Amino acid sequence: MNATCSSNGQCLNTTGVAFCFCNPHFNDSVCSTCEPLYYGPNCSPCLDCGEFGTCNDGISNDGKCDCEWNYAGKQCSTPWFFYFVFSALGLLVLMLIVVFVIVIVKIVKQRQSQGMVQGLVESVSVGNAERAPLL
C-alpha cells in the first residue's frame, strides 16, 4: 500500500505498510486537517476562549473565539453589556449622556438664578416704594 500524504506530513514505509507521519498539530490519515483547538494552514494554536466561547478551529478557519450570545471580546471574557459600555460606541453614548446632564444642570441653575434675581428686583422695588417721600 502506498500512502499519499499532504505537504503537512511525511510518508513512512518501514514494514511494507505506508502511513503518514504528520507535522505537529496536523492529523487524519493524510495530515490534511488540524487537531482540535488548532486552526489555519499552519495549524496554529487557538486563543483560550474561556468558559463562554469556543475556538473557530480547523484548517480553513480563523481561530477566533465564537462567544455565547451574552459575552463578547477577543476571548469571550466580557459580559456583552460591559463590552458595549466600554467600547468606542459605548464611550460615545456615555459622553453624550454626560453632556446632556451638564446642559440640563446649567439650564436649571440659570433658571434658578433668574428667579432669584427677579425676587431681588421685586424686594428692592418694594423697599424703595416704602422709602418714597410722602407728599
Q: What is the pLDDT of residues 23-45, one digit of tens each?
A: 999 999 899 999 999 999 999 99
pLDDT for 19 beyond 60: yes
Q: What is the pLDDT of residues 93-110, one digit of tens each?
A: 778 899 999 999 898 888
CB 50 within 8 A of CB 75: yes
User: Could you tell me the residue ranges of all domains in the chain?
Assistant: 87-135
pLDDT score recorded for residue 1: 40
Q: What is the pLDDT of residues 40-90, one digit of tens each?
A: 999 999 989 999 999 999 999 999 999 998 888 899 988 877 666 666 666
Strand residues in the chain grouped as ranges (E)? 9-13, 18-22, 26-27, 33-34, 38-39, 44-45, 53-55, 65-67, 71-72, 78-79
